């Protein structure tokens, strides 16, 4: 039987989602914990790869079991007692056998948080800057991201993707309680894409480039023309959506 699992984690102590040699990852911790708990080798496949230091309030993954999980609440409680404090299981639910956490996702949402004052409670989960950018002009520039287009200019170089096209559904900034949040949703994201977009939009907000130049950067498909990537610790994967047809 195949199950989806909703996970949240603080990525500070991990080298991203994907298993890699000589570095601790979220996937490695989950597979080790699940295998120990279920007394069988369990492989976990995620909805995507988060970079080192990136967080998630909702990551989705799938795993297979030979037997049915009967008391789901008890299993979730016990798994959480096995896991470290910075990783939590939110839910586990059955899906059809063909369902895939990565390939069946139809939309993903990220949020990026920015602080302007020193805050010891948010220091690990938000990027602190000292000058307030022009939020209105950043929102105008963000609207240029909407729709299906090539985002190679915001992608990490030498990736193995077949296409740089993404369909961005939402991109906006909101300021509330001394906290600036950028929300972006799309069918898919390229590696480093959100952080590169945030860094470039901050350049717009600080007057380093114009909205017209931002549009030319998108058209250029050249990563060297875009701004520096914002730090990883301000980024959260916040939502992954699937078609109703995968659920049992």
Q: Report the catalytic residues.
A: 51
101 Cβ neighbours under 8 A, 6+ residues apart: 4, 45, 46, 47, 60, 61, 62, 240
How wide is the angle at C-alpha 26 spanned by C-alphas 24 and 30, nearest 5°? 110
- Rounded CA gap, 145 and 194, in Å? 11
User: For the chain, what percentages of helix, strand and coil (3-state, to nearest 5) are there?
Assistant: 30, 30, 40
- Rounded CA gap, 100 and 47, in Å? 8
Buried b (16+ CB within 10 A) or exposed e, 134-162: eeebbbebbebbeeeeebbbbbeeeeeee
C-alpha to C-alpha distances, 15 to 25, 40, 52, 53, nearest whole angstrom:
5, 25, 4, 6
């Amino acid at each position: 039987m195949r199950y989806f699992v909703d996970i949240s984690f603080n990525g500070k102590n991990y080298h991203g989602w994907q298993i890699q040699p000589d570095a601790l990852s979220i996937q490695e911790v989950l597979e080790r914990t699940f295998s120990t708990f279920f007394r069988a080798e369990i492989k976990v496949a995620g909805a995507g790869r988060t970079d080192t230091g990136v967080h998630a309030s909702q990551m989705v993954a799938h795993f297979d079991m030979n037997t049915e999980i009967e008391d789901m609440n008890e299993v979730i409680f016990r798994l959480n007692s096995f896991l470290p404090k910075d990783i939590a299981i939110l839910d586990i639910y059955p899906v059809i056998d063909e369902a895939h956490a990565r390939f069946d996702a139809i939309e993903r949402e990220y949020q990026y948080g920015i602080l302007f004052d020193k805050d010891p409670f948010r220091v690990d989960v938000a990027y602190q800057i000292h000058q307030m950018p022009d939020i209105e002009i950043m929102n105008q520039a963000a609207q240029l991201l909407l729709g299906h287009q090539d985002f190679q200019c915001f992608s990490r170089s030498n990736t193995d993707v077949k296409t740089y096209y993404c369909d961005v559904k939402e991109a906006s900034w909101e300021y509330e309680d001394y906290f600036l949040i950028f929300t972006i949703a799309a069918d898919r994201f390229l590696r480093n894409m959100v952080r590169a977009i945030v860094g470039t939009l901050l350049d717009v907000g600080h007057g380093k480039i114009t909205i017209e130049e931002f549009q030319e950067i998108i058209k250029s498909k050249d990563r060297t023309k875009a701004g520096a990537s914002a730090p990883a610790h301000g980024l959260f994967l916040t939502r992954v959506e699937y078609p109703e047809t995968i659920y049992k």
